[in-house]
Amino acid sequence: MLEITDANGPTALKKGKYILMFYTDWCPRCAGVLLMLTELEEKYGDKLTFAKIDFDNNPEAREYFGFPGVPAILTIEDGTVTNVWVGISDLRICIEAAEELLGDKYFV
Residue 108, pLDDT > 50, answer: no
Residue 49, pLDDT > 50, answer: yes
What average pLDDT does the segment 39-44 reach?
A: 90
Residue 104, pLDDT > 70, answer: no
Extents of the domains making up the chain? 2-99
In words, the CATH class of domain 2-99 is alpha beta
Angle at 15 between CA 17 and CA 45, to 5 degrees: 35
Cα(46)–Cα(88) distance, rounded to whole angstroms? 25
What average pLDDT does the segment 23-36 reach?
A: 91
